[in-house]
């Protein structure tokens, strides 16, 4: 009789588990056959045996053997990313050093320094989001250092996160939200930048499932309901294209791809339209079997064939073949008018381009080695190294700058000589100057864009030609920080300003010494500290700088003396400290606040109950998302304003939960009283006589709601307006929205702030 194991009230058969582990391992080996040599399988087998032994007594939250997870990560690395045998072995071993009795030294002894170094990198970034924002940023830097040193570390980490998201059901709701928001904040955009479109889309969809389950399941069901009709339409649409391509001698594949749920939801929000009006829910992809030297010409030939059959939208042509994206993506995109008056997006690419689009960095590296040229992704990694060198000490600025510069969309601009330069979307003329050279930026006096003089903060657009005007007498100014958006420019400006400040401080120190002598005050450490305190400055350096800039004159120093007691040239003046709170670190304040909250919540299992004043805690409803009873919410501890209540799908939730998870507390509504909460709706439609009267009648008469404000504007036969009203709960609000949508002429009704 086989041994039985009980975990989480579930019974597991030990013998069956061993068979299942071997079945999953054999599947991994079969996935490796296409990309990994036979001799390298010995390494994978050795890693599997080592990991199995190390994790033999460990189980996941589901109760399953822990080894299922490393095997699943290795399968993702082999099949969906396409990495080498070393990466597959590291995937099997990635949790050994962190979760078992084995150390990095043991791994190095068994597998060598290369694998040990990768495992070390994975262990260091295993918890990017730590107890405080400063520790988070330090771990973030460590991750980026390993990314720029050996990109396999972050590729395995992405695979690890993907499997964790696929099995997120086993975690409690609060942990699900935290992991989902971390994924949206970092791992999804990082996957996109590294070229893993399929993984990025799946991560976003899985995250949406937990951050806004109602939206996720609604769109998912609608996609399933329309699948059959969509399949028939694609067959009808592609039939003449297939025939024409064959007639022209092309070898090709054509497939229809449905957009991701998250992408559809983003389009619905951006355009403020229902699911039924999203015209590009699917795209038709044409993949050509083309010689590498004829790729561009063949893609444009195929484009010509498609646009001969269907009329293209001239505003929807995207040429990423002539100018590939920074993550290496190459393709031609066009939108054409298909049958039944429907717009259809058509993507045209070759097999090589498609492999890079699907396998991202791994495929790009393979083709790069063959060509021996630097790719866009290598330039991106070089930019990471540069940001790490010029990064400011402030944790939050560092993370925000990184996301802005390396995860954003891009623009392409030209130098006066026609050299193409890539910059993040939103870059200014000053950013362009610093992208040329540090000295060009520091001496930047002005700029010409398309031969017209523009200010330094002029935002550039793709296709602009930019000329920088320099002067040797020009130096960076403090307000330049507000003109720049790229991390490189900000870092260089801060460095230049710091250097200028230090030079002025040296002069200021000498000036202050002379002034103090005239006032018969000793220039000693104690007196300087009192001066710093008196003028409410942060350091001696700030004091010297203010003196050099003549912001602190002899008159101010005399005032200081008059408020002080002077005896034998030694000042006894002492000023009260600003406040104990300003002296404390933010983390200490938060820790103290959390201790107070835990004491008051210990009867409620760490859950803040909102609505009837049961708990004597200072909380308020956040104006950024206006939560009302029925919304899924969480509490966020602020420094001075108590607890702010946000909706789980608040526009700020991703940032708050990922960067400040240690400040988040669970919260739920329990109010039974009839309390009115401020909320808002946006209404759009076709203008008609009496429209406002119809809307207000439904709101006031039929639903008995008080309107706080109403603002409706009409233009060219259409109207749009916002209505702020007092509502009882989400059911009440949803009922109102459904009723308003039925009004003749109304095209859309959405909740304001709905994300």
Whole-angstrom distance, CA of residue 321 vs CA of residue 196: 18
DSSP structural state of residue 259: P
291 with 153, same domain: the answer is no
655/663 Cα distance (integer angstroms): 12
Q: What does the DSSP 8-state code read for residue 697?
A: I
User: Is 170 part of a structural domain of the chain?
Assistant: yes
For 577-590, what is the mean pLDDT? 45
Q: What's the 3-state SS for 446-459?
A: EEEECCEEECCCCE
| Distance (Å, whole) CA 488 – CA 493 | 9
3-state SS string for 534-577: HCCCCCHHHHHHHHHCCCCCHHHHHHHHHCCCEECCEECCCCCC
Q: 């069901």: which residue's tokens?
A: 221
Last residue in a domain, options 641, 669, 697? 669
CATH code assigned at 469: 3.10.20.30
Q: Which of 17, 40, 98, 542 is catalytic?
A: 98
Average pLDDT over residues 688-715: 80
Q: Residue 260 gets which letter from DSSP?
A: P
Instruction: Provide the 3-class DSSP secondary structure of residue 704.
Output: coil
**Based on the domain organization, do 472 and 601 belong to the same domain?**
no
Residue 705 corresponds to which tokens in the numbers above? 């709601």
Could you tell me whether strands 282-288 and 343-350 are parallel, antiparallel, or unpaired per DSSP bridges?
A: parallel
Q: Are 442 and 474 in contact (CB under 8 A)?
A: yes
Is 174 inside any structural domain? yes
Lowest mean pLDDT, pick from 141-150, 327-336, 519-528, 706-715:
141-150
Task: Using the predicted structure, report yes or no on whether residue 405 has a pLDDT greater than 60.
Answer: no
- Name residue 721's beta-bridge partners: 683, 712
Question: Mean of the pLDDT values across residues 68-77?
Answer: 91
Residue showing tokens 């990064």? 391
Asked, for residue 249, whether it belongs to a domain, the answer is yes
Of how many residues is the chain composed? 755
Which of 510, 542, 567 is at the close of a domain?
567
Say what angle helices 295-309 and 227-247 make with each other, to 10 degrees.
120
Distance, C-alpha 111 to centroid of its chain: 35
Query: Is residue 370, in this structure, part of any structural domain at all?
Result: no
Among the residue ranges 125-129, 156-160, 530-534, 538-542, the one predicted with the least confidence is 125-129
- Write down the residue that tokens 């038709």 correspond to: 284
The total number of structural domains in the chain stands at 6
Residues spanned by the domain of 424: 377-488
At 584, list the tokens. Answer: 């404390």
Among the residue ranges 236-245, 284-293, 400-409, 741-750, the one predicted with the least confidence is 400-409
d(Cα 547, Cα 550) in Å, to the nearest integer? 5
Residue 213 belongs to some domain of the structure:
no
Taking the alpha carbons of 701, 702, 707, 712 in that order, is the dihedral positive or negative? negative
- Over 70: is that where the pLDDT of 674 sits? no
In a domain, 574, yes or no: no
Task: Provide the pLDDT for residue 307.
Answer: 93
Q: What is the pLDDT of residues 207-221, one digit of tens each?
A: 999 988 999 999 999
419 and 290 in a single domain? The answer is no
Query: Does pLDDT of 407 surpass 80?
Result: no
Dihedral angle sign, alpha carbons of residues 248, 254, 256, 260 = negative
Q: Is 50 helix (H, G, I), strand (E, B) or coil?
A: helix
98 belongs to the catalytic site: yes
User: Which of 459, 488, 517 is the C-terminal boundary of a domain?
Assistant: 488
Residues 391, 397: Cα–Cα separation, whole Å: 9
CA–CA distance, 139 with 131 (Å, rounded to integer): 11
Two structure tokens written together for 114 = 């290369």
For residue range 285-313, list pLDDT tens digits in order: 999 999 888 999 999 999 999 999 999 98
The Cα-based distances of 545 to 266, 360, 566 in angstroms read 49, 50, 25
Q: Which helix (H) or strand (E) element contains residue 680?
A: strand 677-686
Pair (41, 152) in one structural domain: yes
Whether the CB-CB separation of 429 and 466 falls below 8 Å is answered with yes
User: Would the pLDDT of 572 be above 70?
Assistant: no
Q: Nearest to residue 245, comparing CAs of 290, 282, 283, 311?
A: 290
- pTM (two decimals): 0.65
Residue 347, pLDDT above cutoff 90: yes
Instruction: Specify whether the CB–CB gap between 59 and 7 falls below 8 A.
Output: yes
What's the whole-number mean pLDDT along residues 645-650?
Answer: 82
Assess whether 500 and 459 both reside in one domain. no
Same domain, 352 and 392: no
**Which 8-state DSSP code applies to residue 615?**
S
DSSP state, residue 170: G
Residue of 17, 20, 40, 99 marked catalytic:
99
Verify that 660 and 710 share a domain, yes or no: no
**C-alpha angle 718-723-728 in degrees, rounded to nearest 5:** 140
Distance CA 493, CA 390 (A): 10
Q: Both 127 and 180 in a single domain?
A: yes
Q: Output the CA torsion 185→186→191→194 (10° steps).
A: 130
Return d(Cα 528, Cα 658) in angstroms, integer: 42
Q: Count CA atoms closer than 13 A to 444's CA, side-chain side.
A: 34
Pick the more confident residue, 361 or 152.
152
Asked if residues 429 and 449 have their Cβ atoms less than 8 Å apart, the reply is yes
- Whether residue 201 is contained in a domain is answered as no
Range ranked top by mean pLDDT from 200-209, 262-271, 334-343, 543-552: 200-209
- For residue 192, pLDDT beyond 60: yes
The Cα–Cα gap between 671 and 629 comes to: 8
The number of C-alpha atoms within 13 Å of 55 and in the hemisphere containing its C-beta is 26
pLDDT bucket at 603, cuts 50 / 70 / 90: very low
Model pLDDT, residue 542: 81
373 touches 454 (CB < 8 A): no
Q: How far apart are CA 149 and CA 384, in angstroms?
A: 10
Give yes or no: residues 249 and 176 share one domain. no
pLDDT (average), residues 72-79: 90
Q: Among the listed ranges 15-24, 51-60, 699-708, which one has the minimum average pLDDT value?
A: 699-708
Return mean pLDDT, the chain: 78
Q: Find all residues with CB under 8 Å of 176, minimum gap 6, and list them.
A: 168, 210
Residue with tokens 């790719």: 375
Whether residues 260 and 404 share a domain: the answer is no
Q: Which stretch of 382-396, 462-476, 480-494, 717-731 has the lowest confidence by average pLDDT?
A: 382-396
Give the pairing type, strands 664-669 and 607-610. parallel
In a domain, 209, yes or no: no
Q: Please check whether residue 728 is in contact with residue 672, taking contact to mean a CB–CB distance below 8 angstroms.
A: no
* Mean local confidence (pLDDT), 363-383: 54
Across 199-213, 239-253, 398-412, 578-592, least confident range? 578-592
Report the percent of the chain where pLDDT is more than 70.
Answer: 78
What number of other Cβ atoms are within 10 A of residue 35's Cβ?
A: 16
Compute φ and ψ for 610, nearest 5 degrees.
-110, 135
| Residue 681 confidence (pLDDT) | 87
Specify the pLDDT at position 379. Answer: 61
Q: What is the mean pLDDT of residues 187-204?
A: 85
Gap between the Cα atoms of 543 and 470, Å rounded: 32
Asked if residue 149 and residue 61 are part of one domain, the reply reads yes
Residue 53 and residue 184 share a domain: yes
Task: Answer yes or no: are the C-beta atoms of 122 and 94 closer than 8 Å.
Answer: yes
Q: Are strands 311-312 and 282-288 parallel, antiparallel or unpaired?
A: unpaired
CATH number at residue 736: 3.30.70.260
Distance CA 571, CA 533 (A): 13
C-alpha distances out from residue 597 to 178, 587, 593, 627, 641, Å = 20, 15, 6, 21, 14
| More confident: 688 or 209 | 209
Reference 487, options 375, 377, 415, 400; nearest CA is 400
SS3 at position 419: coil
| Rg, C-alpha atoms of the chain | 31
């Amino acid at each position: 009789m086989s041994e039985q194991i009980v975990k989480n009230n579930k019974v597991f058969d030990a013998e069956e588990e061993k068979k299942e582990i071997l079945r999953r391992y054999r599947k991994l080996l079969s996935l490796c056959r296409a990309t990994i040599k036979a001799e390298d399988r010995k390494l994978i087998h050795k890693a599997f045996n080592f990991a199995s032994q190390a994790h033999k007594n460990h189980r996941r939250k589901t109760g399953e053997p822990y080894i299922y997870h490393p095997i699943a990560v290795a399968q993702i690395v082999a099949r969906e990313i396409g990495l080498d045998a070393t990466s597959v072995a590291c995937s099997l071993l990635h949790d050994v050093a962190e979760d078992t009795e084995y150390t990095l030294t043991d791994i190095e002894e068994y597998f060598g320094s290369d694998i040990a170094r990768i495992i070390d990198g994975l262990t260091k970034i295993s918890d990017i989001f730590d107890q405080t924002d400063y520790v988070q940023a330090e771990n973030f830097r460590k991750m980026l250092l390993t990314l720029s040193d050996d990109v396999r570390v972050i590729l395995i980490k992405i695979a690890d996160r993907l499997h964790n998201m696929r099995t997120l059901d086993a975690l409690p709701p609060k942990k699900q939200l935290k992991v989902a928001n971390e994924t949206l904040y970092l791992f999804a955009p990082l996957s996109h930048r590294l070229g893993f479109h399929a993984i990025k889309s799946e991560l976003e969809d899985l995250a949406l499932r937990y951050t806004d389950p109602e939206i996720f399941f609604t769109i998912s069901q609608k996609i399933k309901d329309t699948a059959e009709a969509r399949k028939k339409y694609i067959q009808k649409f592609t039939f003449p294209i297939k025939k024409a391509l064959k007639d022209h001698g092309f070898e090709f594949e054509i497939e229809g791809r449905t957009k991701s749920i998250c992408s559809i939801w983003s389009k619905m929000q951006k355009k403020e339209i229902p699911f039924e009006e999203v015209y590009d829910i699917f795209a038709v992809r044409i993949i050509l079997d083309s010689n590498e030297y004829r790729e561009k010409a063949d893609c444009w030939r195929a484009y010509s064939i498609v646009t001969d059959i269907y009329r293209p939208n001239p505003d929807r042509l995207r040429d990423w073949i002539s100018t590939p994206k920074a993550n290496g993506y190459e393709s031609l995109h066009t939108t054409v008018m298909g049958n039944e008056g429907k717009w259809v997006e058509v993507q045209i690419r070759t097999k090589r381009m498609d492999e890079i689009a699907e396998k991202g960095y791994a495929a790009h590296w393979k083709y790069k080695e063959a060509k021996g040229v630097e790719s866009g992704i290598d330039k991106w990694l070089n930019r990471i190294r540069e940001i790490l060198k010029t990064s400011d000490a402030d944790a939050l600025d560092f993370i925000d700058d990184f996301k802005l510069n390396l995860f954003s969309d891009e623009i392409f601009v030209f130098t006066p000589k026609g050299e193409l330069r890539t910059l993040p979307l939103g870059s200014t003329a000053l950013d362009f100057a610093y992208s040329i050279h540090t000295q060009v930026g520091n001496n930047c006096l002005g700029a010409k864009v398309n031969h017209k003089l523009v200010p330094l903060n002029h935002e550039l657009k793709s296709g602009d030609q930019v000329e920088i005007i320099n002067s040797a007498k020009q130096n960076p100014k403090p307000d330049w920080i507000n003109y720049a958006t790229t991390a490189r420019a900000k870092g260089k400006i801060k460095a230049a300003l710091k250097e200028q400040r230090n030079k002025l401080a040296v002069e200021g120190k000498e000036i202050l010494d002379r002034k103090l002598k005239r006032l018969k005050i000793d220039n000693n450490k104690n007196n300087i500290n009192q001066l710093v305190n008196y003028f409410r400055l942060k350091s001696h350096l700030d004091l010297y700088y203010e003196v050099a800039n003549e912001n602190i004159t002899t008159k101010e120093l005399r005032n200081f003396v008059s408020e002080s007691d002077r005896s034998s040239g030694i000042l006894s003046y002492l000023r009260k400290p600003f406040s104990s709170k300003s002296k404390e670190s933010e983390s200490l304040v938060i820790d103290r606040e959390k201790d107070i909250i835990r004491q008051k919540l210990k009867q409620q299992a760490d859950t803040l109950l909102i609505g009837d004043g049961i708990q004597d805690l200072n909380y308020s409803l956040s104006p950024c998302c206006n939560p009302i009873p029925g919304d899924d919410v969480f509490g966020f501890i602020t420094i001075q304003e108590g607890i702010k209540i946000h909706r789980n799908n608040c526009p700020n939730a991703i940032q708050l939960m990922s960067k400040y998870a240690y400040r988040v507390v669970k919260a739920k509504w329990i109010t039974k009283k009839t309390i009115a909460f401020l909320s808002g709706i946006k209404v759009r439609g076709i203008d008609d006589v009496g429209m406002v009267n119809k809307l207000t009648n439904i709101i006031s008469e039929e639903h008995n709601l008080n309107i706080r404000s109403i603002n409706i504007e009409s233009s060219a036969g259409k109207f749009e307006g916002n209505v702020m009203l007092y509502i009882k709960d989400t059911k009440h609000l949803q009922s109102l929205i459904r009723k308003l949508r039925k009004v003749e002429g109304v095209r859309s009704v959405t909740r304001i702030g709905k994300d």
